[in-house]
Amino acid sequence: MRGRSRSAAGVGGPYAPIATVSSSRLAATEPETSRERLDLANDILPSPSSASDDLPFAPELRSLAQTLDVKRRVIDLLESLPRTKPVIHYYISSRFGPRRDPFRKRRSMHYGLDMAGWRGEPIRAVAPGVVIKAGRAPAYGLMVEIDHGNGYHTRYGHMRRLFVRKGDTVVPGKRIGSMGSTGRSTSTHLHWEVWYHGRPVDPLPYLKAIADVETLRKEFERRNDGQG
């Protein structure tokens, strides 16, 4: 850190006037915690088939199939959730939600989390996935978008340099770029977004739940190791 100094709080990101955001869209962006999404019983348990109900072992087979399917889906979901922070040294300079736009000085919707820090600070993938965008984009500057599966995407904007290309496979913690101030940005920071099934959601609950998600993932794998 010697020889470097932190810049003024960096903020930025796309401009979304409040007037253009419907109440239903705002409701859709209310934060949902990772824990809430782990309540899968009603959503992913397959419906029992009645095709072989007359077989004496049919109930046991159905129960086993359901158990294995739930295990597979839980592990798959946990792999999609953020497991590491996108940047280590940072402070939050602007949160998700309505705010005063730093350029137009009007109320607008901020669909990400601004994490200010050192110029050149490593930016890392938060979960396994595939890079679907890597390059310069309006408002975002140099940015990367990663598809993590199960409807989850993350975006990383305003970077100084990129270290991945479209089509690259990433693992948690892989360096994908460095912190900068490209695009619609006031100074050095990372603009980080989390998208779920095509809708932006508050990244902060995911950031706070990272340790819990990783602990849960390891515990689930440990308990089910060798059990199919």
Give me the CATH number covering residue 130: 2.70.70.10
Confidence of residue 27 (pLDDT cuts 50, 70, 90): very low
For the entire predicted model, the pTM comes to 0.70
**Half-sphere exposure (Cβ direction) of 35: Cα atoms closer than 13 Å:** 6
Confidence of residue 48 (pLDDT cuts 50, 70, 90): very low
Q: Are residues 154 and 204 in the same domain?
A: yes
Percentage of residues of the chain with pLDDT beyond 90: 47
- Sequential DSSP letters for 159-190: EEEE---TT-EE-TT-EEEEEB--SSBSSSEE
Q: Are residues 76 and 109 in the same domain?
A: no
**Higher confidence at residue 209 or residue 25?**
209
Q: Are residues 110 and 164 in the same domain?
A: yes
Q: Are residues 106 and 194 in the same domain?
A: yes
Q: Is residue 63 part of a domain?
A: yes
* Count of structural domains, the chain: 2
Collapsing DSSP states into helix, strand and coil, what is residue 18?
helix
Is a pLDDT exceeding 90 seen at residue 13? Answer: no
**Higher confidence at residue 219 or residue 159?**
159
- CA dist 220 and 81 (Å) reads 14
What pLDDT shows up at residue 58? 56
Confidence of residue 185 (pLDDT cuts 50, 70, 90): very high
Q: Are residues 106 and 131 in the same domain?
A: yes
117-146 pLDDT, tens digit each: 999 999 999 999 999 999 999 899 999 999
Give me the domain span that covers residue 144. 18-28+85-210
Q: Is residue 8 part of a domain?
A: no
Q: Are residues 171 and 190 in the same domain?
A: yes
Q: Are residues 71 and 92 in the same domain?
A: no
Confidence of residue 92 (pLDDT cuts 50, 70, 90): very high
Q: Are residues 118 and 186 in the same domain?
A: yes
One-letter amino acid for residue 52 of the chain? S
97 in Cβ contact with 202 (< 8 Å): yes
